Amino acid sequence: MKIVMFYHSLYSDWNHGNAHFLRGIVKELQKRGHEVDVYEPEGGWSLQNLLKDHGAERLDEFRQYYPSLNPQFYNPEKKLNYKNILGDADLVILHEWNEPNLISEIGEQKDKFGFKLLFHDTHHRAVSAEKEMKKFDFSHFDGALVFGEVIRKIYQDKKWVEKVWTWHEAADADFFSPNRDEEKEGDLVWIGNWGDGERTEELMEFLIRPVKELGIKAKVYGVRYPEKAKKALADAGIEYGGWLPNYKVPEVFAKYKVTVHVPRRPYVEMLPGIPTIRPFEALSCGIPLICSPWNDAENLFTPGKDYLIAKDGNDMGYKLAEVLKSAQLAQSLSENGRKTILAKHTCAHRVNALEDIFKELGLSKDKIFPIQNKIQQA
């Protein structure tokens, strides 16, 4: 099958978590024999910030880690050659971060070229910025992939798209794999961006203060940290590592004993059941995980077994101390978290779900399972 995807960036994960899941999904689709073209706009803010701060050598490094991924660029200021891009496409997927005019233009090509068209939503604008969502022309879409059941219900209630499927993010489990025997450099590591005010208080309560009170060795990676945040980290004795390429995450997790998940406020208050990509990757790497409160409304995991929940900052400090002093507890969390990922939450599982969706869309079996078709023909 020829699949064409328009996303903000495949190259850059600078403040751009969507790239994580996208990379794993494209790899899995390629593994199953599909031809996948991913387009991203020239001058996209994530890639521009990456190049400005870290240089073009990071793109060479990306290619070393992901040799099969080769994103293509388009000029958003110019009219696209849709015949060349979409002429032989069987399926087109448009991410929610695309501009409304691009979504409208591609939608208008659907009848001309005969492809199926899906929308992919991995953000909270459906509840936090409905006016922005109303700018999208959904009239040509065959369906929408949304990263949580609560978002699916919103799409259905608003009648934005007729068919809507819950399609959670997941881990590239081959890439994000455990290496818990690596010599440790510290106790706790947290990988995440500051959050534009969406979790400032939570990071103070569940990360910075417990680390300071325990006096453990910790390091934080991420971008868009204001000076006030950097000062708070320094005051707690936490080293700040700046941006970390996502492909380096397994190597870093291997060098620490525990990590935490502190979801942004919109996900806690408005989007129960959506953990975002970071917990999937942490559990897949087998690092013991402790979370600030969030409601696993869709029963993706088993709290208390796959990870621990800290009800407040004091409880976070207590649970961190327990994990750090109990090798048995740490090993249990590590093994159970990894086991759950392998059982339910890999990119392969999500592509399996996509294959069922392809059937619903009426795509032929030989296009859905190209490798199997070649074997049968041989």
| Domains in the chain: ranges and CATH | 2-170+346-377 (3.40.50.2000), 186-344 (3.40.50.2000)
> Is the Cβ–Cβ distance between 202 and 172 less than 8 Å?
no
Cα diameter, the chain = 66
| AA letter at 218 | A
Q: Which two tokens stand for residue 376?
A: 């049968």
Helices (H) and strands (E) in the chain, counts: 19, 13
| AA letter at 138 | F
- The predicted structure's pLDDT at residue 48: 97
Q: From the centroid of its chain, how far is CA 308?
A: 21
Give me the tens of pLDDT residue by residue for the chain, a chain 378 residues long.
999 999 999 999 999 999 999 999 999 999 999 999 999 999 999 999 999 999 999 999 999 999 999 999 999 999 999 999 999 999 999 999 999 999 999 999 999 999 999 999 998 888 888 899 999 999 999 999 999 999 999 999 999 999 999 999 999 999 999 999 999 999 999 999 997 788 999 999 999 999 999 999 999 999 999 999 999 999 999 999 999 999 999 999 999 999 999 998 888 988 889 999 999 999 999 999 999 999 999 999 999 999 999 999 999 999 999 999 999 999 999 999 999 999 999 999 999 999 999 999 999 999 999 987 666 665
Q: Which two tokens stand for residue 109?
A: 């090509």
> Is the Cβ–Cβ distance between 241 and 219 less than 8 Å?
yes
Smallest CA-to-CA distance from 236 within 201, 211, 261 is with 211
- The predicted structure's pLDDT at residue 375: 63
Q: Which two tokens stand for residue 181?
A: 């025997």
* Rounded Cα–Cα distance for residues 247 and 191 (Å): 12
* Rounded Cα–Cα distance for residues 369 and 365 (Å): 6
Element at 120 (helix H, strand E): strand 116-121
Q: Quick check: pTM over 0.85?
A: yes
- Kindly list the distances between the CA atom of residue 235 and the CA atoms of 13, 24, 28, 219, 226, in Å, as whole numbers in the listed order: 28, 37, 43, 13, 14
DSSP state of 247: G
- The predicted structure's pLDDT at residue 198: 83
Cβ count near 370 (within 10 Å): 15
